[in-house]
Amino acid sequence: MPIKGEWPKNLIEDVLGEEVYCDLTEDRIAGVEKALNSDLISQTAREIILLRYKEGMSLKRISETVGVSTYRVSQLLDNTMWKLKNTQIGSRRFVGGRNYIQYGLREGELRNKVEGLDYAIDKLKKKVEETRRLLQSYEAPLNNLLEERAIVFSEIGHASDELSTTTLNMKIEELNPGVRALNCLHRGGFKTIGDIVNECIDAYKTEGLTPVQRLMKITYLGQRTAYDILNTLSEHGINLNKVVKEDNNES
């Protein structure tokens, strides 16, 4: 029965005992040729291997071509394959066969990987260069935009200073902090946003209390309600924690 598969992949797979999925590069073919040219493989055996695997001949046709019996062809074929599959024959070292073939495979695979890495590195370099150029093209517009935003934020800051007094004089009812929070603030004697801010500043200076800790001193006002009040103040442009610390630093 003829051997199936492409030369020399069919021989490589029989020697290794497993399917080979990598490309048949010159390195891999060289590994096969080096194995077949070993001193331990006779000229007849080498010819039989080539006729069997490369030409795809049956044992009978090989027998007719080489001029030996079919039995002898089968014997030489089995003996040669055994040599290719093993690294030792008796007391002599067979530095070839399977080792040569595997070396060819590994060297070829390694070369492909290196070439792939080189290609990936070149592609990455080009991408980095494109990104650098793109960033340079955006540098001037971004600087202009930042300058414009700085002017806008400066104007907003001045506007906030002008409105700060109005905000501090707002009644706590205008915050819409919720019924529970509103009742607690009334119970604590707070009427305006300014009352809350000033009391928290004083508590931080005298007792080292954070705004949340000061608010929680009000009867029935828990931590969650205290945070709700701070969040409501933030919505009106007052970061109570920041205000308290900045006032303390100025002092």
The reply to whether the predicted model has a pTM over 0.85 is no
Q: Judge whether residue 96 has pLDDT over 50.
A: no
Distance of CA 110 to the CA centre of its chain: 23
Q: What is the pLDDT of residues 21-42, one digit of tens each?
A: 666 667 667 777 777 787 778 8
Q: What percent of the chain has pLDDT over 90?
A: 2
Name the band, by pLDDT with cuts 50, 70 and 90, for residue 71: very high
Q: What is the pLDDT of residues 150-174, one digit of tens each?
A: 665 554 444 444 446 777 888 888 8
> Please, are residues 108 and 28 in contact by the beta-carbon 8 Å criterion?
yes
d(CA 117, CA 111) in angstroms, rounded, equals 10
Q: Which two tokens stand for residue 52?
A: 């069997």
H/E element, 89: strand 88-89
Q: Which two tokens stand for residue 137?
A: 């093209």
Ordered by start, the domain boundaries in the chain are 9-110, 166-250
Dmax over Cα atoms in the chain, in whole Å?
119
Q: Taking the CA atoms of 21, 26, 30 and 32 in sequence, report the sign of the dihedral they define.
A: positive
DSSP-derived 3-state class of residue 50: helix
CA dihedral 165, 166, 171, 174 (to 10 degrees): -140
Q: Judge whether residue 242 has pLDDT over 70.
A: yes
Q: Which two tokens stand for residue 166?
A: 């109005």
Q: Which two tokens stand for residue 219?
A: 């009867």
Q: Which two tokens stand for residue 16?
A: 């290794």
Please tell me the CATH superfamily of domain 166-250, with its number: 5' to 3' exonuclease, C-terminal subdomain (1.10.150.20)
Among 63-72, 231-240, 241-250, the least confident range = 241-250
Q: Which of 96, 98, 110 is nearest to 22 (CA)?
A: 110
Which has more pLDDT, 133 or 145?
Answer: 133
Distance of CA 230 to the CA centre of its chain: 40
H/E element, 92: strand 92-93
The mean of the pLDDT values for the chain is 76
